[in-house]
Amino acid sequence: MYRIHQIILRPGEDKNLIPSRIAKKTRNSEKAIKEWEIVRESVDARDKNDIKMVYTVDFLCEGKVNAQEAPDMTYRPVSTKGAFPDKRPVITGSGPCGMFAALILSEAGFAPLVIERGHSVEDRVRDVKAFKEKGILDEESNVQFGEGGAGTFSDGKLYTGTKDKRIRKVLETFYEAGADPEILYRQKPHIGTDRLRKIIPEIRSRILKNGGEIRFSSKLTEIYTENGKLKSISVNNEEEIHTDDLILAQGQSAYDTINMLHEKGMFMEQKAFSIGIRIRHEQRMIDEAQWGSAENSILLGPAEYKLSRRCANKRGVYTFCMCPGGEVIPAASSKGYTVINGMSNSARDGKYANCGLLVDVNKSDFGSAHPLAGFDFRGKYEKIAFETTGKCHMPPQTTYGDFALSEEDPFSRCIPRFVRDSIIEAMPYFGRIIKGFDGKDSLLKAVETRSSSPVRLIRNEKMMSSIEGIYPAGEGAGHAGGIMSAAVDGIKTAESIIRRYMENE
């Protein structure tokens, strides 16, 4: 196979024209192009009057071709060579990290046990609906906790800044479980929360078929060690399970679990994170700004954006988890705290776009050297947001015009002063890039605090913590951010466990 870049089509042109474009660029006949596969599709919209679809393509061709050979993108699992643990590994959490760790271990014949404090995705959908419509919060099964993790109720974004060969394994797994084949090559692939709810049970079925086990409503409540090594764990303070390998993929909202691990002496450290709000605009406005006209969205799909600005106070302001055609949803996991998130379905066909508008929070802002001080810092503003709406988990809201007028209004108190000042400084700059972004009627909701973990659980080169046999992984451990990087971290952690038993063989 050969790889060629910069194959150009116009929006709406048939992809079956790609072989003729390859032939022209390589100076071959179209008949010589025998097989072809899109590797990457992106949109070049720098000139709104001349938008292009740009492709990277792998292809087979008869005869000599002046093109580079295509790299091998096949994921190759770590060989076990018949080396298996006496006790099955346990994974706590079934978000992207835990789910892919379980998949890799099950494919290797390790028969992992997954314990998930929340419910299955089918039951979890009902829990989230009851919270959204009736305000009934299940503190163990909600937008943050449950099968699929927090990403299940988001946009299902599958792009990441990391480059790792395991990314292909993640994308292919989602595709095989029912995702659109376009996720394999789009520059910014996404699944959508509606599709994720159907795909996650398919991946669960693969884990079970391979000999794994998944238990819902099962929370890690205690760990037992001996001479610095993991001996066993307790589930729901009721059952003791003996294991030599525990992957911690509990997610960043599981403060109780992380606090328990800290009390047990696990090494961890503070980590900078971000706090902010969500801003909502009409999707039509975003399409016109990005594509040149709202009509182009018919060919190109709803437009996205990514904005950032360094302020005079040295704080970064940036957009996060932009959800085209989506909605802002309440995302609390504990009573007395208000948290929000953005969510889109696969069609992204809603009237409004939204994104997180976040500001850097430094470790020096925490006011304490305690490793878990970041949780207290973000919790302070989640509590204020809860109080602002009359002790209700629905998010406080205002318009940007009112927000910019007064720093003493109830909404502004839901975020730190430096966050408010940074957003106000950055907004005119963002408005120059996307016309109308800083419009006075732009709707703001608070508070967004769960973009990343405020703590990092320290691990060594073998992915192991200060307690032998425990592997902190994923977003909750401070080693990933988003679905893709968390899934990749889960795969890497599973590979490390497999190698551990190969070395001991």
Q: Where are the domains of the chain?
A: 2-69, 90-269+453-503, 272-448
* Distance between CA atoms of residues 251 and 339, nearest Å: 15
Please state which CATH number belongs to domain 2-69: 3.30.70.2700
Distance of CA 219 to the CA centre of its chain: 22
Peptide linkage before 43 cis (omega within 30 of 0): no
**Antiparallel, parallel or unpaired: β 90-92 and 113-115:** parallel
- Which distant-in-sequence residues (6+ apart) come within 8 Å of 134 by Cβ? none
- Dig out the tokens for 329 from the structure: 């949803």
In the numeric block, the tokens 């969500």 are attached to 278
pTM for the whole thing?
0.95
131 near 161, Cβ under 8 Å? no
pLDDT values of the chain reduced to their tens digit, one per residue, 505 residues: 899 999 999 999 999 999 999 989 988 888 889 899 999 999 999 999 899 999 999 999 988 887 889 998 889 998 877 778 899 999 999 999 999 999 999 999 999 999 999 999 999 999 999 999 999 999 999 999 999 999 999 888 998 877 889 999 999 999 999 999 999 999 999 999 999 999 999 999 999 999 999 999 999 999 999 999 999 999 999 999 999 999 999 999 999 999 999 999 999 999 999 999 999 999 999 999 999 988 888 999 999 999 999 999 999 999 999 999 999 999 999 999 999 999 999 999 999 999 999 999 999 999 999 999 999 999 999 999 999 999 899 999 999 999 999 888 899 999 999 999 999 999 999 999 999 999 999 999 999 999 999 999 999 999 999 999 999 999 999 999 999 999 999 999 999 999 998 876 5
Q: Which CATH class is domain 90-269+453-503?
A: alpha beta
